[in-house]
Amino acid sequence: MSTEVKIPAVGESITSGVLSGWLKQNGEPVTDGEPIFSLETDKISTEVPAPASGTLQIMVAAGEEVKIGQIVGMIDAADGAAKTEPKETAARATVTAVKTEDSAKEEALLSPAVRRLAAEEKIPLTEVTGTGKHGQVTKGDLINYLERPAKKEVEDLSSEALAKEEPKPGSKPAAAAPVESKAAVPSVPVSTDGRSVRRKMSPLRKKIAAQLVMAQQNAAMLTTFNECDMTAVMGLKSSYQEAFQKRHGTKLGFMSFFIKAVVDALQVVPAMNARIDGDDLVENHYYDIGVAVGTERGLVVPVVRDADKKSFAELESVVAGFATKAREGKLQLDELTGGVFTITNGGIYGSLLSTPILNPPQSGILGMHKIQKRPVAIGEKIEIRPMMYLALSYDHRVVDGKEAVTFLVRVKDCIEDPTRLLLQG
């Protein structure tokens, strides 16, 4: 008896993904519940377990785009089960087995970064010449492969076009078929001298692009700015960093202060903790805060649940864990959904000021920026202080200007006088 290995449903809005790699080789025995392949979608990267025990027969090679519910392999419960398989399925498994067995040994020696890039760009590793130790393929080899002239692709497109335009004498005209995007002539010519490269967008990048455009089109987005003096927070970090890290096993950073400040401001200005759903206004009474994390694959926003109930140490630990998971591509779908407000920190990349874009369906996002020493007026004196610009983008359909400014000033006050976060003053 054989069991089908299918691509599982991983979210309501997700219809496809990339089978980034097989964790088991073709013909290898697997056990029920054991992870057998990795699936990457526009939101998460996850390992899919085997639906049964038996011998694995791989039908779809690593790096292929797959649909939810698609059959990518079979698991034979017994040795004789393969004889009862349909001829077409057995033949397809045999063809893919040759490719999989040859590449499985090579993929086992590749670094995670190389495997991820090869999966995202769908690079056939057999065509890449490795320059690493023992001929191992490196990330630089993949980049060089992608930057090769696209002459062959252009020639293939031209040949295909000529074949369609010039049918053989006496042959019947073929029925019209829809033209796929990959066979269409590019709107902008592709350079064949190595000056430019055309490649497909990754699922995550396409999702990010769609979300940003949707946010711009579907919300009355406005941004208000302010600046805050980071002297007090930086003083606390300097004074208690060693003891904090020794006791809690994690560093004390700026993010926990800003999460606490945002929660406090949301409690003072509840209009910011609301969103539009159709013709309804949904008011939230919980504080799940999204924290934007940059990765090689793009920006992801894991959510810190019940941030109002967590200590500074718990917040720092959760955020650090999210950063590690994001870099390794191990964030789960439930960790990326359900936030009521988002914080993004462009300052770690050197940004001095920017206007963050809303993370739908949320009504607000706070942008942190680079800390820069500037002369500021303190009473009647001019002093040099570490200052940070803050930017609050909000949906003007939900939040009025007065409420937005009040919210941002409250965040500023909490950062400049952190005792407010303890005394709720």
User: Which residue in the list 102, 334, 396, 417 is annotated as catalytic?
Assistant: 396
- Report the C-alpha gap between 36 and 46 in whole angstroms: 11
225 burial via Cβ count (<10 Å: 0-12, 13-18, 19+)? middle
Annotated catalytic residue, options 32, 156, 306, 400:
400
Residues β-bridged to residue 394: 222, 364
Core vs surface per residue 113-124: b (16+ CB within 10 A) or e: ebbbbbbbeebe
Residues 330, 14: Cα–Cα separation, whole Å: 17
Using DSSP bridges, classify how beta strands 35-40 and 45-49 pair: parallel, antiparallel or unpaired: antiparallel
φ, ψ of residue 102 in degrees (nearest 5): -70, -40
- CA distances to 8, 312, 368, 371 from 227, rounded to whole Å, are 47, 23, 10, 10
Q: Where are the alpha helices (DSSP H) in 249-350?
A: 255-268, 312-328
169: preceding bond cis by omega (within 30 degrees): no
134 is catalytic: no
Amino acid at 141: D
Tokens of 37: 């392949």
Cβ atoms within 10 A of the Cβ of 224, count?
Answer: 17
Phi, then psi, of 291 in degrees rounded to 5? -125, 115
- Annotation marks residue 193 as catalytic: no
Q: Which residues are catalytic?
A: 396, 400
